[in-house]
Amino acid sequence: MDHRNRFRLESLGIFLFAMLLFTLGIWDQQPQGFDGRWALFLQEMFRHGASLFPTTYGQPYADYPGTATFLSFVFARLFGAPNHLANVLPTALASAGVVTLIYRLLVPANRQWALLTVLLTLLTTQLLEKSRSVCLDQMVALLCVGSFYLLHSGGRWRRLAVFPLFILGFAIRGPLGLIEVCGVVCVYWALGKPGERVKQVLIHGAVGLVLLAICWWLLMKLARISGGDAFADEVFRMQVGGRLDETGEPFYFYFQLSLYRYFPVVPLALATMIALRHRWSERFEGDLQCVARLGACGLMILLGLSVPHFKRAYYVLPMVPMFAAVAAYGLLQAPGWLSGVRRCYEGLIVALPALCVVVVFVCRHGWQKQGYWPDVSLPLLIGVLAVLQVAALIAWRRVGRLVWLSLIALMAQWLLLVTVVEPAKDLQFDTRKFVGQVEAMRATAPGPLVFINLGRDTWAVRYMMNLNHDEQPVFIGRAELDQLEGVPRPAWVIVARKETALLKGTALEHQHAVFSGRLNDNPLMVFLLN
């Protein structure tokens, strides 16, 4: 077997391994966090057919194009149901594609470098968690790594193929998606050899701006078709104005996250770039050229998205595989004081299975009292972690221990995530039990749902995602309580327990709640308005 076929076979194996990590145990899990919104998008598209924008309560939603929801819709049709796996699969496929492409990019240079990069990428907590949920930024990450791979692998047609990826970035993530992909391409060329870099940066930057303008014009046209001028204005506010909001997180937000959510990739990559700064003159030679370009692309994403005040922890996910490659290079080469960093990393990951055992007992102590401890066999879980710890101690003495220790650490981390953390979240942030109980009562006395001072895009979504039919709830804000009198009777009124004082002066002031429970770990009370 020649090396190209071997690389392809190895890449396929990594893809399948990653897909197993990202999907095992997911079928009809309860969506958590922002995934609730995507669950409602999918359910409405499943019931009513594909649309240009996702919808909530039958109305188009302005914050995202309908592309990602459509991909989930295709899988839901294949499965025959809009379950959580259908929603997650596009992200899981994109995430598996990211680690496969980064491996394929680096393996011709050094297999150990490529394998360690893959493992460091997967060891990043934020990436591993988001790969098992709905995350558009992971799809953008695939386009960013794909663009880098196309440029690095050479060939005129491959280099031209980056331009369709600009459009795909916009179709998935809006303007930010195109800008990130175009930014990676421009930074790649900016670190090219003198004589071509200025020309290539100008060409790709100009094409990116033209495509951005065309895509934006088309998006506005589609928005007006979907919801009129008012909806088009909302699209502009949500996808442009909202991203540049003056309120939000400080500049160092993502650097702070690098200490835990993006650990160890970001600290190791930054340390490597500092350690290699004296070799800047060699940036056009061999592996260092690839390292310099990957590091610069990662920095561009990290620093560029640190400027806007409006931030989310997962926005910078596209930088992870690039920084992972830089970090892996630094660990393997370990020049100067990086050898000490390498020893610290090895010491940490060799002890990770034992640390996971400690985490299990700490979580059990805290969560069991609150009723969040999942139904997991503790002896079996501890036994598996003990086996992994023994394997880590054995691997410590092997050649290539960085790769083996990272793999064992990944398996320990993943095992903790899928057997303890995710099931505990399902218990803590349960929504099905509350909705099922309320809907059973509504069946005996059909009437509209009324949400008192509960957000359309948060609380209500988590209720609606558990229904198998369309519903148009009545939303009444804090200053609109007089509207309660005009609601058709009987009506089922839901209000947060801490805000029942809002009912003073209404027809429900002296009534007792017919039901109380927790929705997404929030105590709610239900009143029957006759």
**Mean pLDDT, residues 96-119:** 97
Top-confidence residue, 172 or 192? 172
Residue 281: the pLDDT is 80
Find the angle CA(331)-CA(335)-CA(340) to the nearest 5 degrees. Answer: 65
The reported pTM is 0.95
Strand (E) or helix (H) holding 83? none
Residues 6+ apart with CB under 8 A from 13: none
| Structural contact between residues 30 and 430, judged by C-beta atoms closer than 8 angstroms | yes
Q: If you average pLDDT over every residue of the chain, what do you get?
A: 94
The token pair that represents 40 in the structure block: 């409602």
Q: What share of the chain is helix, strand, coil (3-state, %, to 5)?
A: 65, 5, 25
Average pLDDT of span 309-315: 91
Other C-beta atoms closer than 10 Å to the C-beta of 489 total: 11
Say how far apart CA 264 and CA 409 lie, in whole Å: 12
pLDDT at residue 284, as a whole number: 77
DSSP for 214-238, please give it: HHHHHHHHHHHHHHHHHHHHHHHII
Q: Are strands 491-496 and 449-452 parallel, antiparallel or unpaired?
A: parallel
User: Percentage of residues in the chain with pLDDT exceeding 70?
Assistant: 99
Mean pLDDT of 398-410: 94
Q: Which residue has the higher pLDDT, 290 or 239?
A: 290
Averaged pLDDT, 275-304: 91
| The pLDDT of residue 274 | 94
Which tokens go with 399?
């050649």
Q: Would you say residue 55 has pLDDT above 70?
A: yes
- The model's pLDDT over 434-476, given as tens digits with 9 standing for 90+, comes to 999 999 999 999 999 999 999 888 889 999 999 999 999 999 9
Q: Residue 103 in contact with residue 118, Cβ under 8 Å?
A: yes
CB contact at 8 A, 411 and 391: no
3-state SS record for 237-272: HHHHHHHHCCCCCCCCHHHHHCCCCCCCHHHHHHHH
Q: How many Å is the maximal CA-CA distance in the chain?
A: 81
| Section 289-312 average pLDDT | 94
Per-residue pLDDT at 186 exceeds 80: yes
Tens-place pLDDT, residues 329-366: 999 998 889 999 999 999 999 999 999 999 999 999 99
320-333 vs 136-152: helix crossing angle, rounded to 10: 60
Which of these, 154, 233, 238, 216, lies nearest to 188 by C-alpha position? 154
User: Any idea which of 81-85, 150-154, 361-365 has the lowest mean pLDDT?
Assistant: 150-154
Query: What local confidence, expressed as pLDDT, does residue 244 receive?
Result: 63
**Residue 477, pLDDT above cutoff 80:** yes
* Beta-carbon contacts of residue 423 (< 8 Å; ≥ 6 apart): 374, 375, 376
Cα–Cα distance measured from residue 224 to residue 212, given in angstroms and rounded to the nearest whole number: 18
**Separation of alpha carbons 52 and 505, rounded Å:** 44
Q: Over range 41-56, report the average pLDDT.
A: 96
Question: What tens digit of pLDDT does each residue of 240-282 get?
Answer: 876 666 567 899 999 999 999 999 999 999 999 999 988 878 7
